[in-house]
Amino acid sequence: MILEVNDLSFRYGGGRTIFRGVNFSLDKGEVLSILGANGAGKSTLLNCVANLLRPASGQILLNGRPMSAMSVSEVARVVGYVPQIHVPSYAYTVREFTVMGRTPYIGAFSTPSAEDYRIADEALERLGISHLRDKAYTEISGGERQQVTIARVLTQQPQIILLDEPTAHLDYGNQYRVVRMVKELAREGYALLMTTHNPDHAIILDGKAAILDRDGGLTVGRAAEILTSDALTGLYGLPVKTVYDEDAGRKVCVVC
Amino acid sequence: MSKGDAENRKVREHRANITAAGYAAVVLAALALLVLTFAAALSVGRYHIPVGDCFGILASKLLPIAHTWDDMSDAVVMTLRLPRSLAAALVGAALALSGACYQSIFKNPMVSPDLLGVSSGACVGAATAILLDGNSVMIQLGAFVMGVVTVAVTTMIPKLVRNQSTTVLVLSGVVVGSLMSSIMNIIKSIADTDTQLAEITYWTMGSFASIDKLSELVPVLPTILVPMVVILLSRYRLNVLSLGDSEARTLGINLGATRGLFVLCSTLITASCVCLAGTIGWVGLVIPHTARMIVGADNKQMLPVALLFGGVFMLFIDILCRTLTAAELRIGILTGLIGAPFFIFLLVRQNRSLQ
């Protein structure tokens, strides 16, 4: 197992418990989509796995090693993180931004080598966005920024990729392009963990799904099995139905 | 999108893209400019000395060269112009570097040692040490300790009001800076008018006039040069830090240690510059911006260029201070006269480029 999460719980400085008793695991080529209402703590859970927040109890194992015993850069060589799109204060070029994925491999007193730039260029090529290479990251579109951030995480060469609401702030077309990209990356052997507000995305990905409920419990299973009409109705407080669509060849979610 | 992001957008950089050959050309041009300005700084002044003689005088200290100049020229170059020009170039380069460093750490292109209040804090520290009849070591220590305290206070205010936007950080720097100048005025009013006041006043406006021996540079050299080397060597990490805390950490950066090291280095540099030449505003803001406009935002390329530009700019300003008027002008007056309009130009330009 690349990632094992055992009996994890989290609360902010002695306040309300966000989640408790969370268990799941992720292997090569698996996708897990985490769903939950606004404020349920999806991002908090993701941030624990990203080594950004320290869980109150429980354990996160990377390839069998406890994450708490690893250095920040050791973790960064296994876990890559795609944050929600935001615009940095400085206008780095897309290439400069992408090569920052090499940071965990670059010494403190060193700068990226020709080889590091080659790996970054390859990632841009791989995503079909080489033409953006010399553009300013601050001046491209939101969809392009999302793709560049994914190129950066590939440059990081991790085993697990975490994505925090990768489809937020994107238009309809770009949302589906990102979902397809995630599926493609799973096929290549990356383990992927993402949060999403759209149950359809979890169904399309056809991997594992998890629902974080208001009491802080996490239900994990095959997307097709746990994303039932009842579960989604309970989750969003709306009458939601999953129906099979012939043309799409899969189940789709509709609000009745 | 948080409020901070929306505010940051207003002050975002517009970039220039540059090729490797273009970059090499910029560095060479900056180096050439530095040599030229330095030669001019030795030659120009009330007592004109031909550039050839200046180089001859310098070379004669190391090589056996026939003296084709009078003793007066030798004295002017060696005791007046060389030490102060070296100090000007060093302080300009150092302040540009520490400004660029602060800008990356605080993810904010609008901060600088003076806007964060570090300079005025360091000035208060130095003045307090003078007031207590401290020696030069105590003055330096006082400047550094108060510099660190000020930067801590300035950056704490945005955290207290839970608004990490550019505006709040700049405002908080202004508030802390004005608090420091009030304290400065108290110190001035209780200082001994015959001995301490003149010395204290010297710090507040900045000047290289009192540097007339090379040995005066020696005590601050380690605390300027060592942090400069550390920042230059680890400058790539500044790129990563400027993306924000979570991204830097998930890219494998040990946040506390790395940021602490950069703040320590930039503050040491600023405090040492205050010890050498008093408070000199605007350089730390204007020079990194100019460098970014020409070579782009990547600190790997930007920092060395900012360093050279800083040296050139300060030498140029010092020449103007010495030659514009009969009585010598204070450095702070000219950097303010040039820096403030440039700052406005930057704001206008950045807003325009986003529309």
Q: Which residues of B touch A86 (CB under 8 A)?
A: 1, 5, 244
Tokens for B315?
């030498």
User: Which residue in B176, B153, B173 sits closest to B103, CA to CA?
Assistant: B173
Highest average pLDDT, of B39-43, B111-115, B159-163, comes from B39-43
Query: Has residue B234 been placed in a domain?
Result: yes
Q: Kindly indicate the confidence band of residue B11, based on its pLDDT and cuts at 50, 70 and 90.
A: very low
Q: Above 60 in pLDDT, residue A73?
A: yes
Q: What percent of chain A has pLDDT over 90?
A: 76
Task: Indicate whether B203 pLDDT > 80.
Answer: no
CA–CA separation, B76 vs B73, rounded Å? 5
B52-73 residue pLDDT tens: 999 999 999 888 888 888 899 9
How many other C-beta atoms can be found within 10 angstroms of the C-beta atom of residue A77? 17
The pTM for the full model equals 0.90
Q: Residue A187: its pLDDT value, please?
A: 96
B228-231 long-range contacts (CB < 8 A, ≥24 apart) are B228/B93, B228/B94, B228/B97, B228/B265, B228/B269, B228/B307, B230/B261, B230/B265, B231/B97, B231/B98, B231/B101, B231/B262, B231/B265, B231/B266, B231/B269, B231/B303
User: Which candidate from B1, B236, B252 shows the least CB-CB separation from A110?
Assistant: B236
Residue-wise pLDDT tens digits, B221-251: 999 999 999 999 999 999 999 999 899 999 9
Q: Give the CA distances from residue A66 to residues A3, A19, A75, B243, B255, in Å, rounded to whole numbers and listed in that order.
A: 10, 20, 10, 27, 21
Restricting to A residues 30-59, those with a Cβ less than 8 Å away from any Cβ of B are 47, 50-52
Q: Please indicate if any CB of chain B lies within 8 Å of the CB of A79.
A: yes
B32 found inside a domain = no
Out of A71, A73, A90, name the one closest to residue B109 (CB). A90
Contact B5 A108 (CB under 8 A): no
Residue B7 scores a pLDDT above 70: no
What is the chain B residue with the closest CA to A153?
Answer: B251
Q: Is B109 on the interface with A (CB under 8 A)?
A: yes
Q: Which residues in chain B are closer than 8 Å to A156, comparing Cβ atoms?
A: 251
Averaged pLDDT, B207-218: 87
Residue B50 domain-assigned? no
Distance CA B100, CA B265 (A): 12
State the CATH number of the domain containing residue B343: 1.10.3470.10
B234 touches chain A (CB under 8 A): yes
pLDDT for the residue numbered B165? 73
3-state SS, one letter per residue, for A66-104: EHHHCCHHHHHCCEEEECCCCCCCCCCEHHHHHHHHHHH
- B215-222 contacts, C-beta under 8 A, 24 or more apart: B216/B83, B216/B87, B216/B276, B217/B83, B217/B86, B217/B87, B217/B90, B217/B276, B219/B136, B219/B137, B219/B140, B219/B275, B220/B140, B220/B272, B220/B273, B220/B275, B220/B276
Helical segments of chain A, H only = 42-49, 72-76, 94-99, 114-126, 142-155, 172-187, 199-205, 223-226, 229-236
User: B33 lies in a domain?
Assistant: no
Q: Given this model, what pLDDT does residue B351 score?
A: 63
pLDDT digits (tens, 9 = 90+) for B289-306: 999 989 999 999 999 999
Residues shown for chain B: 355
Between CA B135 and CA B142, with CA B138 as vertex, the angle to 5 degrees is 140
Residue B281 within a domain: yes
Reduced to 3 states (helix: H, G, I; strand: E, B; else coil), residue B6 is helix
Mean pLDDT, rounded, for B127-143: 89
| pLDDT tens, residue by residue, A180-237 | 999 999 999 999 999 999 999 999 999 999 999 988 999 999 998 999 999 999 899 8
The predicted structure's pLDDT at residue B19: 85
Per-residue CA distances from B44 to A197, A256, B37, B322, B334 (Å): 69, 84, 10, 9, 18
Cβ proximity of A114 and A143 under 8 Å: no
Q: Residue B193: pLDDT band by 50, 70, 90 thresholds? A: confident
- Rounded to a whole number of angstroms, the distance from the CA of A239 to the nearest CA of chain B is 30
The pLDDT score that the predictor gives to residue B12 is 46
Given a cut of 50, is residue B5 above it in pLDDT?
Answer: no
Compute the count of residue pairs across chains A and B with CB atoms less than 8 Å apart: 110
Q: Please state, in angstroms and rounded to a whole number, the distance separating the CA atoms of residues A89 and B8.
A: 7
When CB atoms are compared, the residue of B1, B8, B250 closest to A89 is B8
- Burial of B134 by CB count in 10 Å (0-12 exposed, 13-18 middle, 19+ buried)? middle
Residue B280 belongs to a domain: yes
- What pLDDT sits at residue B162? 78
Residue B338: CB atoms within 10 A of its CB come to 17
**CB-based contact B298 A96, cutoff 8 Å:** yes
Domain span including residue B282? 3-20+90-354
Alpha-carbon separation of residue B13 from A132, B5, B235 (angstroms): 18, 14, 19
Of B241, B18, B261, nearest in space to A88 by CA = B241
Instruction: Write down the mean pLDDT value for chain B.
Output: 88
> What's the structural domain count of chain B?
1
Using CB atoms, which residue from A71, A75, A92 is nearest to B239? Answer: A92
In angstroms, rounded to a whole number, what is the distance separating the alpha carbons of residues B165 and B154? 13
In this complex, is the C-beta atom of B254 within 8 Å of any C-beta atom belonging to chain A? yes
Q: Is B9 on the interface with A (CB under 8 A)?
A: yes
Say whether A87 and B250 touch across the interface (CB within 8 A): no
Instruction: Give the residue with greater pLDDT, B352 vs A162.
Output: A162
CA atoms within 13 A on the CB side of B324: 12
Mean residue pLDDT of chain A comes to 93
Whether residue B314 contacts residue B334, with contact meaning beta carbons closer than 8 Å, is answered with no
Mutate to test the interface with A, among B101, B226, B229, B243 (most CBs of A within 10 A): B243
Q: What is the ipTM of this complex?
A: 0.93
pLDDT one-digit tens code per residue, A86-145: 888 899 999 999 999 999 999 999 999 999 999 999 999 999 999 999 999 998 998 899
The DSSP bridge pattern shows strands A191-195 and A31-36 to be parallel
Q: What is the pLDDT of residue B352?
A: 59
Å between B158 CA and nearest CA of chain A: 17
Whether residue B36 lies inside any domain: the answer is no
- As to burial, measured by CB atoms within 10 angstroms (0-12 exposed, 13-18 middle, 19+ buried), residue B177 is buried
Q: Is the pLDDT of residue A19 over 90?
A: yes
- Predicted local distance difference test score (pLDDT) of residue B256: 86
Instruction: Tell whether the model's pLDDT for residue A3 goes beyond 70.
Output: yes
Please indicate, yes or no, if residue B42 is contained in any of the structural domains.
no
| Chain B nearest-CA residue for A76 | B252
